[in-house]
Structure 1
Amino acid sequence: MDLRDSKSRIALTMLSLGLVVVLVACGGGGSDDGGKSGDTTSEGDAAAPDGSSEEGDDSPDDGNDGDTKQVLAQITGEPSITLTVTGAAREEGGFLTVEGTLHNGGGKAWNDVGWAGQERELAGNSFSMAGASLTAKEEGKKYLILRDTSGRCLCTRFDLQIGAGDTVDWFAQFPAPDPSTTQVDLQIGNLPPATFEIR
């Protein structure tokens, strides 16, 4: 009698433990852990609408667009000097600002005081963009560099020379062409004209 009672109690205890284990096993992957240990493709790795992972949004491509400027025109001459136009913007006050880079691709330092132009008023600007001009063929007009009352051009004045292999930035300001004008030629020194569009 005692032996049967003891076996019955052991059987009931084992059955109770089995049910507890089954219940715990069934509920273990539920919401107790906030879904963190369950499905690994849930919130953390959700794909963006374009199919890319949210983790990949800070790829190396991001932010690189600001490093490169659009080339509006590029010319080479004298004999290894490359002038690049990267911007042309109409400004308040009725003037046009043109900017870009100048690269000396030759094997020695270079300068050209003739870039100051032939106007006596601009001669003091020496090696600079002072001799630059814009031609608007649609208007049949030529625009000269703007200058202050002392004859200093509203433009870049370079150092004595540009070293071999060096690239420098430049800008030049002109009276703004007619609003209907969409294309101009930039001319300076002995370089060929650089044709580009303006808005």
Structure 2
Amino acid sequence: MDLRENKSRLILIVVTLGAALVIAVASCSGGGGEDDGGSGGSASGQESNGESEDPTEDPAGGDDEEEEEPAAEILAEVTGEQDIVLAITRAEREAGGFLTVEGTIHNAGDDEWRATAWAGDENELADNGFSMAGATLVAHEEGRRFLILRDTEGRCLCTNFGLRIDPGDTINWYAQFPEPEPETTEVDFQIGQMPPATIEIR
């Protein structure tokens, strides 16, 4: 009787321990999955935060790229011919023995503007039409007048404006001339019926 009772108790203990062991294993397996998930979520959160707080990023970088360039310095400006404003922003000597003059033309009037007379009086330049072809430079120090450069077919080394300049429009232009003497530092730029614009050259 004692032997049977001892055997029964032993079987009961073994069954109980086995059940406890199964429950423990199941619990450990479930906990491990949750830990992995939590750990993964935490890592993902840290990675996301790391991206948004990257010290190498410049939040204002895009704004810097979109900033407009500072306006060019105006060397001279004259107004004439139906409220046309001619500005000169650059007059520099170039390698090769010529002088480049650049600027803008603004139509401040109420009507579209076209001036074929700006092509000048020379027959060779007539085909340039509405352009800077008739522009000249006068170097008073040398007592010389410089005409615009052109190629062998009479095309000026200058801007052609096409058909017209509409009211409110501002057009960039350039014109190239023979280079004055090195000692010459000042010239008068003139075209059409516009007043002469005195500019310093470099």
**TM-score, normalized by length of structure 1?**
0.68
Deviations 1:11-49 (A, max 9, x none): xxxxxxxxxxxxxxxxxxxxxxxxxxxxxxxxxxxxxxx
Aligned to 2:101: 98
Deviation, structure 1 residue 62: 11
Amino acid at match of 2:145: K
Q: Which residue of 1 aligns with 2:121?
A: 118
* Structure 1 counterpart of 2:201: 198
**One-letter amino acid of the structure 2 residue matched with residue 151 of structure 1:** G
- SS where residue 114 of structure 1 aligns? helix
Report the counterpart of residue 35 of structure 2 in structure 1. Answer: none
Which of 127, 133, 136 is the equivalent residue of 2:136?
Answer: 133
Matched, 1:72 2:68: no
Amino acid at match of 1:178: E
In the TM superposition, what is the alpha-carbon distance from 1:187 to its structure 2 partner? 0.5
- 1:1-199 matches, within 5 Å, as 66-199=69-202
Aligned-partner SS, 1:67: coil
Unaligned runs of 5+ in 1: 1-57
The whole-number CA distance in structure 2 between the counterparts of 1:64 and 1:98 is 26
**Cα gap change, 1:112 to 1:153, in 2 (>3 Å):** same
Cα RMSD (Å): 2.0
Size of the aligned set, in residue pairs, is 143
What is the percentage of aligned positions where both structures have the same residue?
59
Map Cα deviations across residues 129-155 of structure 1 (whole Å, 9 max, x no partner): 000000000110000000000000000
2:187 and 2:66 map into 1 onto residues whose CA distance is: 32
Shift of 1:89: 1.2
Instruction: Return the letter of the residue paired with 1:125.
Output: N
Residue segments in structure 2 that go unaligned for 5+ positions in a row? 1-60
Partner of 1:23: none
Q: Distance in 2 between matches of 1:190 and 1:86?
A: 20
Shift in Å, 1:64 = 6.4
Cα distance change on mapping 1:126 and 1:193 into 2, 3 Å: same
Q: Computing the radius of gyration over CA atoms, which structure comes out larger, 1 or 2? A: 2
Deviations 1:44-64 (A, max 9, x none): xxxxxxxxxxxxxx9x99996
Q: How does the TM-score come out when normalised to structure 2?
A: 0.67
Query: Residues 65 and 137 (structure 1 numbering): CA distance in 2 closer, same or farther, change over 3 Å?
Result: farther
> Shift of the alpha carbon at 1:159?
1.4
More helix by share: 2
